[in-house]
Amino acid sequence: MESSASLELAKHALLMFGIILAVGTLSGLLARLAKIPDVVVFLLIGMLIGPGLLGWVNIKADSALNQLIMIFGSSYILFDGGASIRLKVLKEVWITLLTIATLGVLITALITGAAAYYFLGLSPIVALLLGSVVASTDPATLIPIFRQVHIKERVAQTVLSESAFNDAMGAILTFTVLGVALGTGDFSASAAIADLLKQSLLGILIGAALGYLAALLISHEKLGFLAEFAPVVSLMAVIAAYMSADGMGCSGFMAVFVFGIMLGNQSSLGFKQSEQDRHQLEDFVMTTSLILRMFIFILLGTQVDFALMYQHLFAGLAVVVVFMLVARPATVFLCAWPDRRARWSHQEMLFMCWTRETGVIPGALAGLLLGMKAPGADIIASVTFIAILMTILIQATTTQWLAKKLNLSRHP
């Protein structure tokens, strides 16, 4: 009986996968015809086929299957994004990157929390918890957008790197505030800073070590005996980077992002791949990222809780408007303007103000708070859903238009 039940569960999962791949392929074609980022169409199609409307796909947000897809998918997309980063660009903008990924998250959380306190009538600590959940940007959303919208290199790479590095800060801030809200801890700035440094540095070290090892095994003139297995090595190393970092209590997402940076800058490390091997790896990564992007955003769309979102719709909209139009611009100008080395233009800063989609990671944090029955978790999840929909549907679709208006577009 147990084996029969397991078989039926496996068949159901297989059917869900088939539906997601089929509608995802059609959605990708539709996005190409409409000339908009495909994550927008994936999200909308997910909402359509989810349990709230057609009911074709129903994979619970807290199920092991969903968590596997979200963790591995986000990790692989982060690896893909890291591989597109160039070290020479990071050297130019590292001050802005460090400031906006740390202090910037706190500024965003405080301003958004103040809006939640005013519009939703939440207690100060619950309002700050809401601000903390949505404060980090989402690399799984931004990376595919910048694959399709080509803009000035240093702007794109700064925004992408920020979205990867601020994940640790967002999680630390959320759980620090949660401890205070639950009465199980007191806020300690020194402890939070120490935890951030630990998570960040360990994640960077693990990603750098595995990235160097992978480059050695697939690109070294004498030791690169796994050159023809480069795609398999990339899969294995992404999993190893995430699991190693997570097991040591640091940011797994940061580790896979740094791993991608190392593998994407092999020439700077003294390694050189053959053209055939390089194209083989690039084609594999591009196809795998597309499939995982389909799964992540279609599933994210199916899990939008319309009833929960409608409970606080108008106040939630007001909070998200402040989040998009006040908190983000304040964060960018306070963190990027003082960086005289980078010499950001007003056009570049305006673009960074608008480009900060919310997606998988804030959604996962909101779901975690719901599962823990944290104070105000329902309201936090409601506003997070609204933030995800508004930022992806509004900001992602206008990214290319804004880049052209600000003269930041470039040929791929």
- Residues contacting residue 124 through CB under 8 Å, at least 6 positions apart: 113, 117
Comparing 222 with 307, the larger pLDDT belongs to 307
Residue 35: CB atoms within 10 Å: 10
Cβ atoms 260, 81 nearer than 8 A: yes
pLDDT higher than 50, residue 1: no
Token pair in block for residue 97: 């990157």
pLDDT higher than 70, residue 103: yes
Residue 17: CB atoms within 10 Å: 15
Bridge partners, 151 (sequence order): 409
Domain residue limits, the chain:
69-405
Per-residue pLDDT reduced to its tens digit, 131-180:
998 988 777 777 778 877 788 888 888 888 888 777 767 777 887 888 78
Q: What does pTM read for this prediction? A: 0.80
Average pLDDT over residues 403-408: 89
CATH of the structural domain 69-405, one choice from 3.40.50.720, 3.30.230.10, 1.10.10.60, 1.20.1530.20: 1.20.1530.20
Question: Which of 211, 236, 237, 242 shows the shortest CA–CA distance to 67?
Answer: 242
Report how far residue 303's alpha carbon sits from residue 53's, in angstroms, rounded to the nearest whole number: 11
Per-residue pLDDT reduced to its tens digit, 222-257:
666 677 777 888 888 889 988 988 888 777 888 888
